[in-house]
Structure 1
Amino acid sequence: MDAGPLLARLVSALVQQRLDVVLIGNAAAAMHGAPVTTLDFDFMFRDTPTNLRKLKAVSASLGAVILRPFYPVSKLYRMVDDASGLQADFMPVIHGVRSFEGLRGRATEQPIGGVTLKVASLRDIISSKKAAGRDRDLAVLPVLEKTLEAMTATPRRRGS
């Protein structure tokens, strides 16, 4: 399944509601060229009453529902629409990320579906996965680190 159209629809709704988010996790890593897969989209956002209203409006516009699967121990908001296969997690706190502002400042902007999406830097994605320390995060680290190496490698001169 190509998740691009689904992500484009979600990002368009986020932009329409002016909800400031940064994509993080494997979906963000894939947008940087890492050969990884995922079943959901993970976003960091500021947890404010205004942003929660915006998140609810985004969900309603997509025909999705918002769940709090780990409440009260987690502030994760999960947006789900079974009909389209949408699962997007919105988190105000992410392991290994000090602040939304810092993450946002290091993010790149990538076009998707006619709008722009802020995508966490690969370094931030790696830091968050290391800090989370879950088996599934640790398993993907070598792939992400190899992708980062390839992205930052200095091109060799011919004949050297």
Structure 2
Amino acid sequence: MNAEPVLATIAKALGDTRLDAVLVGNAAAALQGAPVTTLDFDFMFRDTLLNQKKIKKLAESLGMSCSQPFHPASSLYRLVEPESGLQLDFMSRMDGVKSFESLKSRAAEVRFAGARLRVADLADIIRSKRALGRPKDLAVLDILEKTQNEKEKAAQE
């Protein structure tokens, strides 16, 4: 599947709702050259009442359902498109990441069909996956670290 049209739609909808969010996880790593796959798109956002409303508005604009919060003891908002199964997860906290502001300050801006999308720095993704310590996160650490090393070497050349 070519994720670019999907990301363009998501980026435009994020811009239209003015929801300040950063793409994280394997999708963000893949955009930076890591040979990883994912079934969803994960975002970190600043948890405010206004942003919670923006997430609901985003879900409506994309024709998705919104579970809020997805787990009663969490702040995860899950948006799901019923027909395709497309899933967007919005979280206000991430293991290994100090704050949304710190993550955002290191994020890169990527454009999709003229719409802007912030993408987490690969080092932040690695730090988060290491801190989570789940088998599925630890399984990709070596690949992500090799990708990070290759990026650093290329930047020095």
In structure 1, give the amino acid aligned to 2:110.
Q
In structure 2, give the amino acid aligned to 1:54.
K
Contact 1:6 1:86 in 2 (8 A): no
Q: Give, in angstroms, the shift of residue 11 of structure 1.
A: 1.4
In structure 1, give the amino acid aligned to 2:71.
F
Could you list the runs of 4 or more consecutive aligned residues of structure 1 that deviate by over 6 angstroms after TM superposition?
A: none
Q: Give, in angstroms, the shift of residue 3 of structure 1.
A: 2.0
More helix by share: 2
Residue 3 of structure 1 corresponds to 3
Q: Which runs of 5+ in 2 are unaligned?
A: none
Q: Give, in angstroms, the shift of residue 84 of structure 1.
A: 3.3
In structure 2, give the amino acid aligned to 1:121.
D
Residue 97 of structure 1 corresponds to 97
Residue 141 of structure 2 corresponds to 141
Q: If the length of structure 1 is used for normalisation, what is the TM-score?
A: 0.93
Calculate percent identity across the aligned residue pairs: 54
Contact 1:24 1:42 in 2 (8 A): yes
Q: Give, in angstroms, the shift of residue 143 of structure 1.
A: 0.3
Q: Give, in angstroms, the shift of residue 85 of structure 1.
A: 3.1
Contact 1:26 1:37 in 2 (8 A): yes
Q: Whose radius of gyration is greater, 1 or 2?
A: 1
Q: Give, in angstroms, the shift of residue 86 of structure 1.
A: 1.6
CA distance in 2: counterparts of 1:84 and 1:18, whole angstroms = 25
Q: Give, in angstroms, the shift of residue 100 of structure 1.
A: 0.3
Paired residue total: 154
Root-mean-square deviation (CA, aligned residues, Å) is 1.0
